[in-house]
Amino acid sequence: MHTDLSPHLHTPDCIKLIEQLNNCHIEKKFSKFLGACNDINDQVLKCLKKERQARAAANRVKAAERQAQLKERLKASS
């Protein structure tokens, strides 16, 4: 199961892959069940994973900044 594949949520590279996967599913209605679209699906999964890891790294940086600011406020008020 994929996350939401709406175009506004992803990078242009992933959007291209998502479109290819959707086209594959449309063009190969029955052979998709036999693995005809698996290669594209694997590429989509890898791209989504890279996006998720990048978001997680950015969130870690933001969290560290917030924690540093909080420590400064606590030191100032003590």
With contact defined as beta carbons under 8 Å apart, do 41 and 14 qualify? no
CA nearest 2: which of 74, 36, 52? 52
| pLDDT band for position 2 (cuts 50, 70, 90) | confident
Question: What is the reported pTM?
Answer: 0.80
Return the domain boundaries, the chain.
Answer: 7-77
pLDDT, tens digit, 9 for 90 and up, residues 10-53: 999 999 999 999 999 999 999 989 999 999 999 999 999 999 99
45 CB contacts (<8 Å, ≥6 apart)? 2
Q: Please give the pLDDT value at position 64.
A: 97
